[in-house]
């Protein structure tokens, strides 16, 4: 079994004026290839902070993060962004699509950064949009799409570069329950196809759909629950 993520004794402190927040406390987590891990817990418990560390968007105050065989702390700024581009797919709660770009252009962005051939980019974008069933909206702009459709485009953008791990922050947070259910079905389908997923959610109903559930309370891992494999 290949281990994708190894976090050891991760602490994260934020200092804002006089106020110090100990957002993550001695976090130890391993994630293996093919897993679908949910991270749940009440608002403010540290879920998004943890996901942004996993996504190399922020760095811990102490502790080590190994991503496959790479020791993340030893990377230069340039190496970090390269590894982020190649290894990580990140889906933000607010989608973060670029308004003036089309669906095609949004999804192509991670590949443009790799300076791939435009015919290869076109093929990869079309294939990935087909996976999330959005190929018919390829020339639309984000504001012409529903929330659920925008979320699917954001998932396609995260997947197009074939990342080692897909990190998803509150994928259903901005959606009504019908669209939330559709996005969950999409994530479950992707996981069955082999995509390793870490999903942050405060919704118990959705966290139970993952193959392993990590519950966080006040910056600490409270319990881990693994589904029995039948």
Ligand X SMILES: Nc1ncnc2c1ncn2[C@@H]1O[C@H](COP(=O)(O)OP(=O)(O)O)[C@@H](O)[C@H]1O
Residue span binding Mg ion (CB under 5 A) among the ranges 44-52, 67-75, 180-188, 206-214: 44-52
Q: In this complex, which beta carbon is closest to ligand X, that of residue 16 or of residue 100?
A: 16
If binding is defined by CB under 6 A, does position 93 make contact with ligand X? Answer: no
If binding is defined by CB under 5 A, does position 48 make contact with Mg ion? Answer: yes
| Alpha-helical runs (H) found in the chain | 47-54, 77-87, 103-112, 118-131, 147-159, 177-192, 204-207
Q: In this complex, which beta carbon is closest to ligand X, that of residue 23 or of residue 54?
A: 23
Interface map 32-51 toward ligand X (x if CB under 6 A): -----------xxxxxxx--
Q: Which residues are within 8 A (CB) of 124 and not within 5 positions of it... i.e. 6 or more apart?
A: 111, 116, 160
CB of 76 to Mg ion, least distance (A): 29
Q: Determine the Cα–Cα distance for residues 87 and 68; give it in Å rounded to an integer.
A: 9
Q: In this complex, which beta carbon is closest to ligand X, that of residue 43 or of residue 76?
A: 43
The length of the chain, given as a count of residues: 230
CB of 170 to Mg ion, least distance (A): 6
CB of 172 to Mg ion, least distance (A): 13
Interface map 49-88 toward ligand X (x if CB under 6 A): x---------------------------------------
Closest C-alpha among 166, 131, 172 to residue 151: 172
Closest C-alpha among 155, 214, 211, 157 to residue 182: 155
If binding is defined by CB under 6 A, does position 222 make contact with ligand X? Answer: no
CB of 154 to ligand X, least distance (A): 18
CB of 124 to ligand X, least distance (A): 31
Q: Are 206 and 169 in contact (CB under 8 A)?
A: no
Q: Determine the Cα–Cα distance for residues 176 and 171; give it in Å rounded to an integer.
A: 11
Residue 70 dihedral angles phi and psi, to the nearest 5°: -100, 130
Residue span binding Mg ion (CB under 5 A) among the ranges 48-56, 109-117, 149-157, 221-229: 48-56
């Amino acid at each position: 079994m290949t281990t994708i993520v190894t976090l050891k004794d991760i602490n994260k402190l934020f200092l804002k004026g006089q106020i110090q927040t100990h957002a993550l406390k001695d976090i130890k987590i391993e994630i293996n290839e093919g897993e679908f891990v949910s991270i749940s817990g009440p608002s403010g418990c540290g879920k998004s902070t943890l996901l942004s560390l996993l996504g190399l968007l922020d760095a811990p105050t102490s502790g080590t993060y190994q991503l496959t065989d790479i020791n993340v702390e030893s990377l230069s700024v340039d190496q970090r962004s390269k590894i982020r581009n190649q290894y990580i797919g990140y889906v933000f709660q607010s989608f973060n699509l670029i308004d003036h770009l089309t669906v095609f252009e949004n999804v192509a962005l991670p590949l443009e950064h790799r300076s791939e051939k435009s015919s290869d980019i076109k093929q990869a974008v079309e294939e990935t949009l087909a996976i999330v069933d959005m190929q018919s909206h390829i020339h639309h702009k984000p504001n012409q799409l529903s929330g659920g459709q925008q979320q699917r485009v954001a998932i396609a953008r995260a997947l197009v570069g074939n990342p080692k791990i897909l990190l998803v922050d509150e994928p259903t947070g901005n959606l009504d329950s019908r669209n939330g259910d559709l996005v969950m079905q999409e994530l479950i389908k992707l996981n069955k196809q082999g995509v390793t997923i870490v999903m942050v959610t405060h919704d118990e109903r959705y966290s139970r759909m993952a193959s392993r559930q990590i519950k966080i309370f006040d910056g600490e891992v409270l319990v881990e629950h693994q589904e029995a494999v039948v």
